[in-house]
Amino acid sequence: MKRLSQLFATKKQRILNVYCTAGYPELDSTLPVMKALEDQGADIIELGMPYSDPLADGPVIQESSLRAIENGMTIATLFNQLSTMRTGDAAGTGKITIPVILMGYMNPVLQYGFERFCEKAAEVGIDGLILPDLPMHEYETIYGPTIRKFGLDLVFLVTPETGEQRIRRIDALSSGFLYAVSSSSTTGSNKNIGDQEAYFQKLQSMQLQNPVLVGFGIKDKSTFDAACKYTNGAIIGSAYIKALEHSTDVAGTTKSFLSNIIAQ
Amino acid sequence: MTTKEIKILPIGKEGSGPDEYGYYGSFGGAYIPEMLFPNVEELKTRYLEIMAEPAFQNEFRTLLRDYVGRPTPLFFAERLSKQFNTRIYLKREDLCHTGAHKINNTVGQILLALRLGKKRIIAETGAGQHGVATATVCALKGIECVVYMGEKDIERQAPNVARMKMLGATVVPALSGSRTLKDATNEAIRAWINNPTDTHYIIGSVVGPHPYPDMVARFQSVISEEVRWQLLEQTGSELPSHMIACVGGGSNAAGAFYHFIHEQAVKLVAVEAAGHGINTGMSAATTQLGRSGILHGSKSLVMQTEDGQVTEPHSISAGLDYPGIGPLHAHLYESGRGTFLSVTDDDALRSAFEVSRLEGIIPALETAHAFSALKQLSLRTDNTVVVCLSGRGDKDLATYMKAMGV
Ligand SMILES: Cc1ncc(COP(=O)(O)O)c(C=O)c1O
């Protein structure tokens, strides 16, 4: 059974998905950060592939992407790093067993070669993709079959402005889970997610085929709790990247950051 | 001027427009995050219908005539013609209000935004010409205007920043990335994501997600529409042998080419900025240096590293200093319908001085690239060459003064 569906079959609530940028804060931080996230209780890792022009991201993730690019991160380097993700490596980093989703913009993926990208991703043990600027039309006519051929899930986004009919269509095309953007904003916004109860309730009442995880603006226990009230869980991004920014001890920082949030 | 309709050309491969998904050949589309979908979809479903309304046409045409100053003259450049031993006509977009073609588009888009019920306008700008043209129409209509401009460009283009402020616009520095036009565009798009219902984004060139490239091309198409009847009046034929325009994102070129794209007898010459030279690492010649990729919501030719990170271009002219081109131009390049030339900083400067002295017209640095391309073409005495004189050189005076050593 696929890792994502296995997770959602056994855990229905308070699923914690944490975003980190590949190659941040250091080029070789990728696996240690992922391992720390797994050890400290994350259920899913959303691993960001840095891009020079991330349209959907706020300043914190932009900065982390820029730094990762300066550190030398590329898709080819990332796949090298991830080649030991499911087995553990010689440096002693243990293997990652939780689902891992790659998040990235289309341009670097197209330059790497879309089919080659999907093939490599599947080979190193990636479970799914989030490609926020992949349009539905191109997904259906060009890229979808390749993604499915390699057994990868594709997670689409919905927002408070997405109409009900379109939500249903997106749900039908998505697999793994549905990414509910909490408010109309870029990542790391300060819009109050408490104002979005009606939207989360609507998603819950629609009885969608995919589990729903809420992202954007989830930064601490209270926002995580609010997001989990009507959905299956939430995604934390900018707040964790911020915590890592000046960290000299990835495991320690991750522990204090996550223990706070996970506490019931 | 007669209030002729903006011609709605057939959609698809044969016309000048894209297909229903925004593709010109293999370029175009709308590669946007879901957060932008409602805004872009609203535009896509409504722009053609709104532009075809007689009341819209009337208001647009009236403003172009009485406010922008259209039709702009088509001027036979006698001394320049003599120098190149051919017949050269200048399409005087430099005489538009605010000094460049940019305002043709901003007048169209502000009227469209008002019909969509928008209360606020955002825009990006590089040299500041599009920012000034946007601030101008916002003042005219009494609507709030926020312009995103790279921090570096704010330092380089102080007079245009002052003009925008005097017109009542707020100028927000783009602090991300390389802090120039590319990043100002990113910031404008992010600002649109964060203000999804009351705000319209007036993009300044034929770039961005569908329907922007087509919409901006249609508003700018008034340039070639006028050239056709002006040439007919002056020469007895509607068609030039060459239509030459500089290309940053490509809006003045799209407007100058639009009504000639299906006329195979007309050679369409697009001129890019070579900067210090194509292979110096300091260039903005996108068709020469770029590969197919996605930037600012559309698939086109993009200057980028092997790993798909967008690279920083260079041109002496801020308006051509952009690492992409509109999808229409990528298609004209790929299909061979367009001839793409490039001109260095130094050659452009030289042409700016030559044209100033030969014709008494100080062109914008962007336009100077188009003039310099005359030297690369083999022109005959019986050719009819039109140069799209996209803007005037007032904004570039600091650069020209430096070149003169004053
Ligand atoms: C006078 C002038 N010409 C040309 C351009 C380049 O833009 P485009 O290629 O969209 O016409 C600019 C942009 O600032 C400009 O100010």
Judged by average pLDDT, the poorest of A138-152, B4-18, B375-389 is B4-18
A49 touching chain B per CB within 8 A: no
Nearest residue of chain B to residue A182 (CA atoms): B35
Distances (CA, A) of A231 to A20, A239, B68: 22, 20, 54
Q: What is the pLDDT of residues B200-220, one digit of tens each?
A: 999 999 999 999 999 999 999
Are B65 and B99 within 8 A, CB to CB? no
Tokens encoding A175: 């697999």
User: How far apart are alpha carbons A102 and B117 in whole angstroms?
Assistant: 39
Whether B247 is in the pocket of ligand 1, judged by its Cβ within 6 Å, is: yes
Chain A nearest-CA residue for B306 = A111
Q: How high is the mean pLDDT of chain B?
A: 94
Question: How many Cα atoms are found within 13 Å in the side-chain-facing hemisphere of B304?
Answer: 24
Q: Which fold has domain B31-67+102-216?
A: Rossmann fold (3.40.50)
| B387/B392 Cα distance (integer angstroms) | 13
B14 included as an active-site residue: no
Residue in B35, B292, B310 closest to A52 by CB: B310
Contact criterion met (CB below 8 Å) for A64 and A254: no
Residues 197-256 in A contacting B (C-alpha not used; CB under 8 Å): none
**Strand ranges (DSSP E) for chain A?**
15-21, 44-48, 100-103, 128-130, 153-154, 157-158, 178-181, 212-215, 233-236
Residue identifier of the C-alpha nearest atom 5 of ligand 1: B319
C-alpha span between B383 and B380 (Å, rounded)? 5
- The token duo for B3 is 């209030």
Active-site residue flag, B124: yes
Relative orientation angle of helices A75-82 and A114-124, to the nearest 10 degrees = 20
Peptide bond into B73 cis (omega under 30): no
Question: Distance (Å, rounded) from C-alpha A169 to C-alpha A174?
Answer: 9
B27 forms beta bridges with: B24
Q: pLDDT tier at B157 (50, 70, 90 boundaries)?
A: confident
Determine which residue's CA is closest to atom 15 belonging to ligand 1: B319
E strand or H helix at A253, and its extent?
A: helix A250-262
| Pair of tokens at residue A220 | 């601490």
Instruction: Calculate how far, in angstroms, residue B319's C-alpha sits from the geometric centre of ligand 1.
Output: 5
Query: Measured in angstroms, how far is the CA atom of residue B367 from the centroid of ligand 1?
Result: 8
Place B3 in a pLDDT band, splitting at 50, 70 and 90.
very low
**Residue B248 beta carbon below 6 angstroms from any ligand 1 atom:** yes
Kindly indicate the confidence band of residue B266, based on its pLDDT and cuts at 50, 70 and 90.
Answer: very high
Confidence of residue B15 (pLDDT cuts 50, 70, 90): low
Which residues make up the CATH 3.40.50.1100 domain(s) of chain B? 31-67+102-216, 71-99+221-404
Q: pLDDT tens-digit profile of B236-253?
A: 999 999 999 999 999 999
The pLDDT tens digits for A216-263 are 999 999 999 999 999 999 999 999 999 999 899 999 999 999 998 988
Reported as a single tens digit per residue, the pLDDT across B33-66 is: 999 999 999 999 999 999 999 999 999 999 999 9
Q: Is the per-residue pLDDT at B5 higher than 60?
A: no
Residues of A in contact with B303 (CB under 8 A): none
The reply to whether B33 touches chain A by the CB within 8 Å rule is yes
Q: Which of B252, B286, B372, B388 to mutate to test the pocket of ligand 1 (most atoms within 8 A of CB)?
A: B252
Tokens of B131: 């920012």
CB-based contact A53 B37, cutoff 8 Å: no
How many angstroms separate the alpha carbon of residue A155 from the centre of ligand 1?
Answer: 39
CA distance A229 to B390: 57
Q: What is the pLDDT at residue B196?
A: 83
Reported confidence tier of residue B278, pLDDT bands at 50, 70, 90: very high
Q: Does A58 contact chain B (CB < 8 Å)? A: yes
Q: A188: nearest CA in chain B?
A: B194
**Would you call A55 and B186 a contact, using CB atoms and an 8 Å cutoff?**
yes
For B291-344, how does the pLDDT look when each residue is reduced to its tens digit (9 = 90+)? 999 999 999 999 999 999 999 999 999 899 999 999 999 999 999 999 999 999
Does the annotation count B372 as an active-site position? no
Per residue in B69-125, pLDDT (tens digit) is 999 999 999 999 999 999 999 999 999 999 999 999 999 999 999 999 999 999 999
- According to the model, what pLDDT value does residue A1 have? 61
Q: Give the pLDDT of residue B9.
A: 43
Q: Is B287 in the pocket of ligand 1 (CB under 6 A)?
A: no
Phi, psi of A66 (to 5 degrees): -60, -45
Task: Indicate whether residue B129 lines ligand 1 (CB < 6 A).
Answer: yes
B32 to chain A, minimum CA–CA distance in Å?
A: 5
Question: What is the Å distance from ligand 1's center to B390 Cα?
Answer: 7
> How crowded is the C-beta side of B357, counted as CA atoms within 13 Å?
6
Looking at the CA of residue B391, tell me the nearest atom of ligand 1.
Answer: 1
Quote the ligand 1 centre to B52 CA distance (angstroms): 26
- Whether the Cβ atoms of residue B157 and residue B291 lie closer than 8 Å to each other: no
Does ipTM top 0.85?
yes
- Contact, B200 vs B113, CB < 8 A? yes
Asked if A123 has any chain B CB less than 8 Å from its own CB, the reply is no
Q: Which residues of chain A register pLDDT less than 50?
A: none
Give A-chain residues touching B31 at CB under 8 angstroms. Answer: 106, 133-135, 138
What is the three-class DSSP state of B88? Answer: strand
Which atom belonging to ligand 1 lies closest to the Cα atom of B318?
14
Catalytic pick from B44, B91, B118, B124? B124
What token pair was written down for B382? 């019986």
Query: A55 — contact with chain B (CB < 8 Å)?
Result: yes
Residue B12: pLDDT band with limits 50, 70, 90: very low
The answer to whether the peptide bond before residue A25 is cis (omega within 30 degrees of 0) is: yes
**CA nearest to B205, candidates B112, B298, B277:** B298
- Measured in whole angstroms, how far is the alpha carbon of residue A89 from the centre of its chain? 23
Q: Which CATH topology does B71-99+221-404 take?
A: Rossmann fold (3.40.50)
Considering only the beta carbons, identify the residue of B32, B293, B295 that sits closest to A111.
B293
pLDDT for the residue numbered B14: 45
CB contact under 8 A, B31 and A135: yes
Residue of chain B nearest A132, judged by CA positions: B33
Domains and CATH numbers, chain A: 13-156+187-194+217-262 (3.20.20.70)
